[in-house]
């Protein structure tokens, strides 16, 4: 491709900014990034309270976040944030020791005498985790490469999860199993207990439930090395918040994102004509990292959290057919000020609330700054499941009341003497776009990948790999390597 090609990048989140970075690395400097909001970072959103940033979106990374590390090196960013830790509670506030691995490893006999049932369970769980890792590396070789190319056909093609990102390609018919829901996949391989561990950074962080989400998504995000980093609390954070990674990246790029860009119309042909803020701009190529949803009965044009493609793009029949299969999670975070004497010592996970039967309940309450009692605690709740509640999403206000009541039950009592009864900030996004098992198995991803480059259009962003910041950036790397290489 001509390196003077003029390229429009739609979206100033991790996917769009990293696409620009990787393009620059390949010598493409004639690009424009359009961001509809007044800030970059997308779901890496880190507001400020009392001089310190807290997280409403992405919280952490791990050493196997190689694309994020690319950005750190490019932008001069260090993972210099507070050390995280976690404990567990039951929904009624009682301590939950079922995954207290730190104490169990420190003094196994003492832990067994104090919590015999938990100790026996942990031993069984540890055995299944070890077996699961071995199965993934052998029977499911290729499960963790970037993106979903070929998986439904029993193939893999992409980049290895390593700092060098070696290109890998091969056939493995077993990979077809990854289209089944993760709970059935775990049962098939004889490791059902591992769900108890994988669920903690998956469902609690808004990625849906294991009886409805294809295993491929779970394992692209939580490949074995990433999961073990989470288990061992080997986590990265950033003092100025995850958003600062992308603010620094944006400042380092040759062309910073154009904020408050209202894209009104895109017409594609020999060129791509974009009407933005009332003016027309002409490009050779367009990379769309914004949500790919189109208007359907389920996702109408008045979707409160994201514009559909129909409202600005000349959607083709092929795009409409495929993108109408996309669903997303109704996932909300709230920053809540709590009473000073009720401020939690660490972040707490309520695993028993991470099931469809407890839809709408508090799953995690996150404490970022140790000992800072005048900082918000962030809550996490899901409001939608394919079948729970008759398949209908719970109301936002209804769920907010449930979460605030759950906070009281677990002892992190909201400070009602503060403004808005302690509720500092609310964050809703178009979260974790995905397709379900039937469409995944039918080759949805291969059909979309076959459209790459048609109408001078390329697709990146969350849906093309997974909705965490590293996978979205990794996919941008993959896209540039495949279509914009020398």
Summarize pLDDT for 58-97 with one digit per residue, the tens.
999 999 999 999 999 999 999 999 999 999 999 999 999 8
Query: What is the CATH class of 7-45+64-78+238-326+435-483?
Result: alpha beta
Summarize pLDDT for 175-209 with one digit per residue, the tens.
999 999 999 999 999 999 999 999 999 999 999 99
Summarize pLDDT for 30-67 with one digit per residue, the tens.
999 999 999 999 999 999 999 999 999 999 999 999 99
Summarize pLDDT for 468-486 with one digit per residue, the tens.
999 999 999 999 999 998 7
CATH of 115-231, one of 1.10.405.20, 3.30.70.3270, 2.40.50.140, 1.10.357.140: 1.10.405.20
Backbone phi, psi, residue 263, to 5°: -80, 120
User: What is residue 397's three-state secondary structure?
Assistant: helix
Give 305 or 415, the one with higher predicted confidence: 415
Looking at CATH, the fold of the domain delimited by 329-432 is given as Alpha-Beta Plaits (3.30.70)
What is the residue whose two structure tokens read 């989400």? Answer: 213
156's CB contacts (< 8 A; 6+ apart) are 141, 142, 143, 145, 149, 150, 168, 169, 170, 171, 172, 175
Q: Could you tell me the two tokens for 252? A: 């380092």
Summarize pLDDT for 397-423 with one digit per residue, the tens.
999 999 999 999 999 999 999 999 999
% pLDDT > 70, the chain: 96
Q: How far apart are CA 306 and CA 232, in angstroms?
A: 36
Q: Could you tell me the two tokens for 94? A: 């009682």
Q: Enumerate the β-bridge partners of residue 280.
A: 275
Q: Where exactly are the structural domains of the chain?
A: 7-45+64-78+238-326+435-483, 115-231, 329-432
Q: Which burial class, exposed, middle or buried, applies to 281 when counting CB atoms under 10 A from its CB (0-12, 13-18, 19+)? A: middle
Summarize pLDDT for 105-159 with one digit per residue, the tens.
555 656 666 677 777 888 888 899 999 999 999 999 999 999 999 999 999 999 9
């Amino acid at each position: 491709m001509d390196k003077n090609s003029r390229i429009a990048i739609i979206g100033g989140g991790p996917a769009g900014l990293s696409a620009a970075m990787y393009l620059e690395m390949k010598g493409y400097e004639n690009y424009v990034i359009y961001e509809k909001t007044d800030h970059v970072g997308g779901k890496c959103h880190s507001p400020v309270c009392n001089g310190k940033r807290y997280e409403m979106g992405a919280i952490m990374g791990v050493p196997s976040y190689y694309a994020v590390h690319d950005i750190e090196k490019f932008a001069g960013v260090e993972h210099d944030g507070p050390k995280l830790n976690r404990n567990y509670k039951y929904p009624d506030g009682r301590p939950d020791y079922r995954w207290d691995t730190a104490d169990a490893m420190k003094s196994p006999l003492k832990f067994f005498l104090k919590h015999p049932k938990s100790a026996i369970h942990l031993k069984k769980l540890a055995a299944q985790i070890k077996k699961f890792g071995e199965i993934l590396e052998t029977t499911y070789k290729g499960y963790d490469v970037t993106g979903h190319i070929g998986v439904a056909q029993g193939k893999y093609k992409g980049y290895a999860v390593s700092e060098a990102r070696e290109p890998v390609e091969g056939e493995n018919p077993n990979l077809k199993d990854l289209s089944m829901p993760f709970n059935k996949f775990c049962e098939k391989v004889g490791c059902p207990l591992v769900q108890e561990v994988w669920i903690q950074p998956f469902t609690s962080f808004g990625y849906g439930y294991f009886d409805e989400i294809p295993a491929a998504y779970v394992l692209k995000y939580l490949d074995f090395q990433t999961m073990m980093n989470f288990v061992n609390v080997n986590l990265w954070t950033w003092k100025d918040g995850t958003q600062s990674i992308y603010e620094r990246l944006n400042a380092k790029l040759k062309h910073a994102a154009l904020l408050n860009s209202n894209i009104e119309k895109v017409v594609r042909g020999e060129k791509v004509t974009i009407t933005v803020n009332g003016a027309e701009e002409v490009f050779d190529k367009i990379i769309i990292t914004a949500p790919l949803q189109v208007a359907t009965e389920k996702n109408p044009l008045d979707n409160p959290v994201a514009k559909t493609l129909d409202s600005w793009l000349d959607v083709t029949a092929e795009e409409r057919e495929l993108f109408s299969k996309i669903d997303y999670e109704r996932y909300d975070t709230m920053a809540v000020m709590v009473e000073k004497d009720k401020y939690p010592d660490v972040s707490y996970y309520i695993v028993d609330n991470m099931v469809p039967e407890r839809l709408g309940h508090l799953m995690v309450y996150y404490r970022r700054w140790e000992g800072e009692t005048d900082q918000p605690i962030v809550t996490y709740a899901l409001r939608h499941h394919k079948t729970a509640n008759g398949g209908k999403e719970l109301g936002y206000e209804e769920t907010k009341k449930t979460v605030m009541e759950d906070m009281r039950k677990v002892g992190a009592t909201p400070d009602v003497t503060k403004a808005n009864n302690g509720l500092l900030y609310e964050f809703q996004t178009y979260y974790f776009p995905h397709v379900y098992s039937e469409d995944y198995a039918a080759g949805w991803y291969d059909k979309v990948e076959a459209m790459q480059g048609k109408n001078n259009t390329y697709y990146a962003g969350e849906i093309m790999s997974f909705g965490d910041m590293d996978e979205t950036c990794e996919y941008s790397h993959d896209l540039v390597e495949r279509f914009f290489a020398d």
